[in-house]
Amino acid sequence: MPAAQACLLEPIWVEFRVLLGAERPGFDPAHPLGCHRRVADRAVFEHVVAAQVHGSGYERIASAGCSDRTIRRRLKAWAEQGIGQQVHALALRA
């Protein structure tokens, strides 16, 4: 069962996706093995929303396709881009 209904989550994702910028490749060409797959931003976003809705840690909502380490790394990268503040401003305007 999803953490939030699609009718609520989709508009937030659309706004968030715009803030993220360009689409990233599904794998990391700079990885030493040349084949390291990259978890989609949408999957990480949905895991973060689930953690916030349920009030649980990332370890509890992690899945085989998106580990808690991936969630933390991506959140850190998004925070360094200042996306968190922009999302907060969007939510306040809404």
User: Cα(39)–Cα(74) distance, rounded to whole angstroms?
Assistant: 10
Residue 62: predicted pLDDT = 92
15-39 pLDDT tens trace: 889 888 877 767 666 767 666 678 8
**Where in the chain are the domains?**
6-93
- Mean pLDDT for 7-15 is 83
Residue 10: predicted pLDDT = 87
37-88 pLDDT tens trace: 788 899 998 898 888 888 889 999 999 889 999 999 999 999 898 887 887 7
The reply to whether the predicted model has a pTM over 0.95 is: no
Instruction: Please work out, in degrees rounded to the nearest 5, the angle formed at the alpha carbon of residue 52 by the alpha carbons of 1 and 10.
Output: 60
Contact between 37 and 70 under an 8 Å Cβ cutoff? The reply is: no
The conformation of residue 63, written as its DSSP 8-state character, comes to B
Instruction: Please work out, in degrees rounded to the nearest 5, the angle formed at the alpha carbon of residue 68 by the alpha carbons of 25 and 41.
Output: 30
Place of tokens 């990391």: 28
Contact between 29 and 38 under an 8 Å Cβ cutoff? The reply is: no
